[in-house]
Amino acid sequence: MAGWREVFGVPEFRTLWLAQTQSRVGDQLARVALALLVYERTDSAGLTALVYALTLLPPLVTAPLLAGLADRYSRRTVMVAVDVARAAFAGLMAIPGMPLPLLAALVVAMTCLQPLFAAARNATLPSVLTGDRFAVGLGIVTATDGLAQVAGFTAGGLVVVWAGGPNVALAANAVTFLLSAALLRWGLRPHRPGGADGVPARRPSGFALAGVRLVVGDRRLLGLVSLIWLFGLYLAPEALAAPYAAQIGAGTSAVGLLMAADVAGSVVGAALVTRVRPPWRDRLTVPLAVAAGLPLVATVAGPPLPVTVALWALSGLLATYMVLAQVTFTEELADEVRGRAIGFASAGLQSAQGVGVLLAGGLAELMPPSVAVAACAAAGSLGAVLIWATLLRARDGTGPAVRRTEERRNHA
């Protein structure tokens, strides 16, 4: 079984990891800065939430159209181009006095490019890390992302104030994109996808949507991606941390602790799943997905703060079933279709998170926050059980969709 030292011993992984980590920190600072900037100008919580939602939802539309580029051109070129474009958008957002409609448009434009970058990066990772090292590397990336989120949520506001205001933080985000582009350009091989010739497809729309058809047309791939998207229901604690704290009488000082609890648990969980051996990955994925909702259901009565923090952290730990599901999903895909399929899955996950947050907020208008959290979690656990049945039936099929697709193409 590969270890962390062996994975970090791969120079190209270090490049991908460093580029992603510093860019993720910039993203978190930008989210905090954006929220502060919009709220300062409008004094509207609704508009602030709307702009925040714009950082999550657009990829569901753009991913099927853009992710295919990661299977047509050098994945290094795709990542560098996206980072340069996002740096330009982030730089424009940092201009003082930028009108809010233009600011929102820039947020949408920058967010729309995210699935293309994610598709190229995640499709490159299995080429950089072969065998057991891929699962360990994905766990490291997930754990690092979680740490960046914790740091962003807990210290983002202080950093924005210390830096001199939201505009400075937004400019810093632009710099992180440029640093990422430089690291990837000079620290990564081109990584051309298998079967790609660098020539645009004759039917671009059909080529782009092939990833969607591939995933939807195979029960096993669809079951795995559904498990990944199910994670959106387990984000209710982050969405309702403030009203939950008020419900249990913990005060505003507890909000940051509650928001960080499940993320901290996910960091620990991501580190632990890197030690899971291949035969156990399939066996543990769905049981962990079912179990991830149970600690949140247990908070239905609004227990005291220490109990809630422990249960939410446990849920975050169990929710790292996503890492196992992502490893299996990626290993099912041939290299020439990996970018499109992963781009579709990543965009769906990001959008599912946005929908999960909106659903939790809507339920909290109708019932106590603790009950809303429990309801979302119960729906997640039930959904995982239903997906389990789909995956069991898929075992009796004729093989992964990718193999069937290749066979049809070879006989065409």
Mean pLDDT of 96-115: 87
For the segment 352-370, the average pLDDT, to the nearest whole number, is 86
- Model confidence over 242-254: pLDDT tens digits? 888 889 998 766 8
**Pick from 57, 79, 60, 80: nearest CA to 70:** 79
Q: What is the pLDDT of residue 410?
A: 43
What pTM did the predictor assign?
Answer: 0.76
Those residues whose C-beta lies under 8 Å from the C-beta of residue 397, and which sit 6 or more positions away, are 218, 219, 220
Query: Per-residue confidence at 123, pLDDT binned at 50, 70, 90?
Result: confident
Higher pLDDT, 59 or 266: 266
Please state the φ and ψ torsions of residue 368, each to the nearest 5 degrees: -60, 150
Chain segment 174-221, per-residue pLDDT in tens: 999 999 999 999 999 988 876 444 444 444 445 556 677 888 888 889
- Please state at what angle helix 369-394 crosses helix 335-364, rounded to 10 degrees: 150
Q: Where are the alpha helices (DSSP H) in 217-277?
A: 219-229, 236-239, 241-247, 255-273
- What CA–CA distances, in Å, run from 389 to 7, 35, 138, 299? 35, 41, 26, 28
- Asked whether the domain spanning 206-412 has the same topology as the one spanning 1-191, the reply is yes
Q: Which CATH superfamily is domain 206-412 in?
A: MFS general substrate transporter like domains (1.20.1250.20)
Q: Where are the domains of the chain?
A: 1-191, 206-412
Q: How many C-beta atoms lie closer than 10 Å to residue 55's C-beta?
A: 20
Q: Taking residues 44-65, what's their average pLDDT? A: 69
Domain 1-191 class?
A: mainly alpha
Q: What is the mean pLDDT of residues 329-353?
A: 84
Q: pLDDT band for position 400 (50/70/90)?
A: very low
Q: Which amino acid type is present at position 380?
A: G
> CA 249, CA 385: separation in Å to the nearest integer?
35
Distance in angstroms (rounded) separating the CA atoms of residues 62 and 40: 30
Distant-in-sequence, close-in-space partners of 403: CB < 8 Å, separation ≥ 6: none
Q: Tell the residue number behind the tokens 């754990």, with chain if given.
A: 143
Rg, Å, the chain Cα set: 21
